[in-house]
Amino acid sequence: MDVVRNGQIVHSGTLSSLKRFKDDVREVLEGFECGLTIEGFDQIQVGDVIEAHELEKISRKLE
């Protein structure tokens, strides 16, 4: 996850918790509110953008 402020990445880290209401959850559908924490970062400001991405490793095949 990246935290972007004014077009600059201010922190890159991993998601450490995701909550919907008071329950820990694995995912939250689009359009629903949730709370999250990013490992090693607690200085979120109004206007920050959180970008989540998933790295997928694909093995090469010999043909």
Per-residue model confidence as pLDDT tens digits over 36-49 = 999 989 889 999 99
Which of these, 28, 35, 37, lies nearest to 1 by C-alpha position? 37
Question: How many angstroms separate the CA atoms of 55 and 4, rounded?
Answer: 19
Distance CA 12, CA 38 (A): 9
d(CA 39, CA 12): 9
What's the pTM? 0.69
Report d(CA 47, CA 20) in Å as an integer.
Answer: 21
Tell me the per-residue pLDDT of 19-34, one tens digit each, with 9 for 90 and over. Answer: 999 999 999 999 999 9
Cα gap 52→33, rounded to integer Å: 16
Q: Please, which pLDDT band fits residue 63 given cuts at 50, 70 and 90?
A: confident
